[in-house]
Structures are given as structure tokens and as C-alpha cells.
Amino acid sequence: MRNRFVFLNILVKILFVFLLFAFIYLPSNGQTPSSLRVDLLQDPQQAYDHGVKIPATLKQALSDSSLQFCRINSRHPAFSWVVAQEAQSAYQILVSTRQDLLLDDHADVWNSGRQTSRNSIGVLYKGAALQPSTVYYWKVRTWGRDGKTSRYSAVQTFCTGDKLEDFALPSFVLIKTLQQPVKLSRPDNHHTLYDFGKDGFSQPRLSVNALNNGDTLLLQLGEAVTPAGHINHTPPGSVRYRLIKVPLQQGQHSYEPVIPSDKRNTAAHAIRMPDKTGEVLPFRYAETADAEQFSIDSVSRFLVTSRFDDAAATFTSSDTQLNKIWDFCKYTIKATSFSGYYVDGDRERIPYEADALIDQLSHYSSDAEFTLAERTLDYLIGHPTWPTEWSLQDILIAWNDYLYSGDLRLVRKLYPELKAKLLSDLAREDGLISTRTGKQTPEFLQSIHYYTPPKGDPGLKDIVDWPQSNVGGQPSGIMGESDGFVFRDYNSVVNAYYYAGLGIMAKLAAALGENSDASHYRTEAARVHTAFQHVFIDGQTNLVLDGEGTAHSSLHANFFALAFGLVPAEKTAAVVSFIHSRGMACSVYGAQFLLDALARVSDSDYALELLTSKSKRSWFNMLDEGATMTMEAWGQEYKPNQDWGHAWGTAPANYIVRHLAGIQPATPGFGEIEVKPAPGSVQSIKLVYRTIRGTIEESFENKTDHFSLRVVLPGNTSGHLYLPARSGKTIVKMDGRIIRAMAEAGYYRIDGVSPGEHNFGVYPATAQ
């Protein structure tokens, strides 16, 4: 009997040890890390042949100079991954030069060991020195809060560059996607029009069967058509048309005609297309003429873009007009990425800070891709443009990069340059800055990398908005886009930007551990805030003045001050009323900050009215005039030399995600997520939105008596949820249970929301 008891006791202990081992060490189900990135690249293992995806491995691509792939150029690349719906407590990374070793859970380069950390983004490599032009393999596993380990992720491959630096941005490849026309028509008995549905920076491809050598096919490409259905040979402004002569060979052949470069967008300061990509032309339509000596079997095009995931952000709502504007702006972001940088479109192909800021916000709202924005910021630091406000936007771009990606390395590299771009050297005693008081010395201009201005050029100049009156071939009677702004030596718009820049620099300095700088910037921001109230706010009208010494108040002076937090609470009603009275008296660029200003004061009804307007100054007017990418201006009459592919017109894309759905990172890299919908008159939405930490899903139903919200948060995050309040006595529910929620400025706030799916609602008290 005693032996049997001893045996059972031993058996129980063995079983306990086995269960403990299984609980801690055996993989849990469904928690495998996914969506791996190296230096923010999502698919560094992909190889290309002149931009076309091919199934070659990186080792094959490395040995074949005709192939392309993205290279990692940092000695200490950062690894990121997505955790399933739980909180991570630890991770382990394996890096190897041989895939077979990694598949057996061995690493000949780096085994991080079990690292107790919740961090799943931007984990720096700490193994043996990486070698140039070498292919590496890596994978990761994680532990949950319950101590149970996941399976290892799938293996991701990356290759280092020819030369490694402590930190350098990865290289990039422009991607070619073959597209067929969506519609064919015959405008007359002799011509065929091929419609690709949307405009795009592209290259044509034809299949032709010719009877003879030496015959010529005339191929017309363009963005616009005439009422008769032909391609418009003489389109307005910078809208594109091109006639290309294609020499033919006898028999059946495929042709990819080379597009000649245009001197308008290949000047000294323009971004050039890579040789392996070739020149592109924005066109929606192709037109050919019938001929007896050849037959055309097909006409297609290669759309050229940077990497873009169409499924990364999807949106639909009860407002069909809003849905059209979303699709319009989202496609613009994809299509205008053709050069690998944020450029001003096709008119000049030059990066501008203002274009880059709006492009970045809309890109981050439509795809979790960060390297294009980082590459553009890095370029702009050394290639600044002339508007004063746009130098200050470098600071905003840098902050957005850190806030959305969680990666501080580029900011650390550029920090001394960003300090100069803040333009503090132009400040007077009260803190306000001016470009017109003799402080733009050669030393100052050199500090911001501004080119040596010709004689008589003062350097930076305040812009407010663009175009101003009598610029760009505007006809008489068109006043420009700055709402009659009266320029003085000290202007409110520039100083609103300066105040915003000081606040952001304080945050960046704190993140970098530059505590003395952070304290200095906070002090300066407070000083500028005080001076702004004294100099620029009219005590009688409660409106913001354009500049020191003028009584004029423009739309811009008021919405920039409101957007950047410079309007006191007691004066907000007057400023908002004035903004309503001016309508869309700004450009598509200014509209970004007008919408941000309205969002700041929760004026979603008016914001939605502007977004879905069908007036001449609206996004629908661009569509009505024939554009399928956002224009440089509201319409041709407002900027006669404009082009039809300008991403600074995409403010609705980021408004919808950041304000209508209300999704923003509460901490850098979406560790904490804010979901604060501002539905206005929109009755329902469904949004799927991918971030660096994974995918957020949101849907809401907005009724007069109740508001219901469904949210799915990715793993390793925490949510701050805001529910729009309703009048009368109400209750707040979370996952079917009545909860207490903090009332805050028209919302109920719930903090600490865990990963996974949750359902919230604000209902009448009688609905208990």
C-alpha cells in the first residue's frame, strides 16, 4: 500500500512538472508574431526585374546586377513585428546567415535570448557586426503575460547594402504593375480610345502585328478627353498630352515605348526617375489610329508607384459622397508615390515641405509605410524651399514620423538640423519671428542649407497660402488663395507655425534625453504664446489679425491660430463664427489646417459640409473637371498652370482617419491608441486601419438617441476610447455591461482598453 502511495505521489509530481513545462515553454495557439519588418521595410525579401516583381531569392538577386531589391544600410537595423491580441512580456530574436540553421532554431549571427520587454517595434540589432552585401535571415517569438511562449514567426530575409553606416535609410525600388484598360471606345470610325479608368504615372505597353519593317504607329497618351471622345491635344496648364512614334518590326511583337523626358520636370532641382525604372508620364487615356499595314492586339500600361498596400486602410460610410472623396484621395497617395519621394506632382517633380507634410499625414492614414516620408524629410533638410512656414514644417514632419512609426533614429540624426530649421535666430525680444528685419544673414541661410540667393533675393519669404494673387497666370478678378492676407514684418501665420514648432521640439528633445533643450523650448513656447495674444488678437473683435500693425483678419490667420492652440477659450466662438463666414477661402493646402482647426473644436458638422461640398471650391469640383487624382488647386481657373496629380490636396484622407474615426497614436508607435470619433451627421462607418503594431478595426452607429461603437485593437496596445455624449440621462456600456466613464468635453472617456474586440454604447437611461 505504501509503495502504491509513493508511486502515485511521484506520478503526480511528474505530471505537475510536465504541465508547468507545457504552460511555460510549449507554443500557444494563434499567437505567432507576424508582419515582420526590418528598418520599417515590410517585404525586404522581394526581388524585382526593372520594377516588376519576380520570384527570385535575394541570393539570386545579389548575384545578378540586372535585378533590384531593397537593401538595409544600417549597422544596427531595427526589427519590428505584430503581436496577436494579447500583451507581450518578452521576446527572442534569431538572426542567421543560413536559412537551414534558422529553421532548426539556431543562429550563427545573433541570438538575443529571452528578453523581458513589451517592445515589439524598433528593437535594435545587437549581434556580431553585419557584413556588407550579405543576405541574412531572422525570426522572432514572444511570451505573453501568462508566461506562455508563441511559435516562432515565419522567416524573413534581408540583404545589407554595399556600405553600412551606424544609421542610414534603406534603399528603395519603384514597382511596376501591369494594368489593362477598363473601357474601349471608338470616338470615330478610325480611332480607338483606351481608358484605364484612373490617371497614373505610367509607361505604355503594346502588342502589334505589322506587315512590314519600318512602319510607324502613332500613340497618343493623355489625361483629358474632348467632348467628342478623343484625347485632348491641347490640355490646359500642366495637364499632360504626348504623341509617341513607335517604329514597328514585321510580325507579332510587344513594344514598351520610351517616354522622352520633359524639361519642365527634369530641371536641376527635380527628382529624377531611376535608370532601371525609366521615365513616366501621367495618363489615363491612350489613343491609336487604324491602319491597313498593322493590327493592334492590345494596349496596356505599367503603373509606377512605390510599395503601397491597398488593403492597409479601407473605409466606407453611410455618406456615399464621403466615400467617393476617400477613394479619390487614397488613390492619389498611391499614384503620386511614383518617384520614391513626395514631390509636388508632375509640374516640377520637386519635394516641397508643405506637400510632404500633407502627403505624409494622408499616406500614414492609408498605408503603414514610413520610409518614403523619412526619405523625403532627409532630402528636404539639405534642399529647402523658400517659404518661411515650410521650413517650420520640417519639425512637424519629423514629429509625425516618430509619432506614427515609433522610430526615433532619423530624428536623432537630424536633430541639430531641426534646431536650425526652427528659425529661432529670427526672433525678437518677445519671441516672435520675422524674415523682414535684417536677420537673414549669410550665416543664418547657411545654417538651414538655403542656397545662396541672387542679389536682391532676401531668402525665406512668408507665404501663408499659394498661389497668392497675380501668380501662375491667374485671370483678373481671381484674388489668390490667401483671403486678402495683409503682410507685415511680423505675421500671425508664421508665428503660429513657430509656436507649434517650439512645442514639438520640446517633445522631441525630451524623447532624445536632451532635457535642457526641452525645458528651453517649453519656456520659449510659453513666451511666444503670450506675445501672440498681445500682438495678434484683436481685443474688440476677438479675431486673430494678419500681422502687427494691421486691422485685417483673414481666414488663414484665424484657422492656423485655432489649429495650433493659440485661440483662448473665451474667444473661440468668435473665431469659429468668422471661419464659417469665409467658407473655403483657402487653397487645397490651406484646407488641411482649416479641417484640423475645426477638428480641434469638434466642429465636425461644418468640416463634413466642406468635405462633401459640390461648390467650385471643392474636391467634387476636381472630379467634375475630369481629375482622378487630386489637383494642385480647386479647379483650373484658380491656378491655370496647375497639374492633375498633386497629393497636397488629399486632406480628406487623413481627416477621415484622424478625426472622423478619431484614430491617432496617443504615444509614439501606437503603444497607446486614441479612438475619438467625431461623427457629425455621418450615421455609420466601417474602417480597417493598419498601424506599425497591427490592424485597428472600427465601426460605429450614430443615432439621435444613442451611439454605438465596435473597436478591435491589436496586441501589445492599450486604448483610450471616447464616446460622443448624448443629451439627457444616459448610460455607458462596455461589452454589454454598464460602466462608469469620465465625462470630458462632450465625450465619455474610457482608459486602459485592452487588445481585442470591444463593443461600447451610449444609451438613454431607460435602456438598462
Q: How far apart are CA 566 and CA 558, in angstroms?
A: 9
Return the pLDDT at 455: 66
Q: How far apart are CA 285 and CA 137, in angstroms?
A: 44
Peptide bond connecting 442 to the previous residue in cis, omega within 30 degrees of 0: no
Q: What CATH number should be reported for the domain whose range is 310-660?
A: 1.50.10.10
Residue the block writes with cell 487645397:
588
CA angle 178, 183, 185 (to 5 degrees): 130
| Residue 512: burial class (beta carbons within 10 Å; 0-12, 13-18, 19+) | middle
Q: How far apart are CA 469 and CA 486, in angstroms?
A: 12
Return the pLDDT at 14: 47
Contacts of 708 (CB under 8 A, 6+ apart): 700, 701, 759, 760, 761, 762
- pLDDT tens digits, 85-109: 788 999 999 999 999 999 999 999 9
Please give the grid coordinates belonging to residue 404: 506614427
- pLDDT tens digits, 424-457: 999 999 999 999 999 999 999 999 999 766 666 7
Question: Which option is the CATH number for 668-767: 3.30.70.100, 2.60.420.10, 2.30.40.10, 3.40.50.300?
Answer: 2.60.420.10
Enumerate the β-bridge partners of residue 93: 140
Q: Please determine, for residue 8, whether its predicted confidence score (pLDDT) is greater than 80.
A: no
Enumerate the β-bridge partners of residue 115: 91
User: Domain 175-305, what architecture?
Assistant: Sandwich (2.60)
- pLDDT tens digits, 18-42: 444 444 444 453 489 999 999 999 9
- pLDDT tens digits, 482-531: 999 999 999 999 999 999 999 999 999 999 999 999 999 999 999 999 99
User: Domain 14-165, what architecture?
Assistant: Sandwich (2.60)
Q: If you average pLDDT over residues 714-719, what whole number do you get? A: 96
Return the pLDDT at 544: 98
Please give the grid coordinates belonging to residue 324: 467617393
Nearest residue to 40 (alpha-carbon basis) of 474, 368, 397: 368
* pTM for the predicted model, two decimal places: 0.94
Return the pLDDT at 615: 97
Nearest residue to 151 (alpha-carbon basis) of 35, 20, 23, 26: 26
Please report, for the chain, the start and end positions of each structural domain, with discontinuous segments joined by +. Answer: 14-165, 175-305, 310-660, 668-767
Nearest residue to 287 (alpha-carbon basis) of 338, 328, 246: 246
User: Which DSSP state fits 720?
Assistant: E
Q: How far apart are CA 114 and CA 137, in angstroms?
A: 19
Cβ count near 393 (within 10 Å): 24
Q: Please determine, for residue 697, whether its predicted confidence score (pLDDT) is greater than 80.
A: yes
Ranges assigned E (strand) in 380-481:
none
CA angle 468, 470, 473 (to 5 degrees): 110
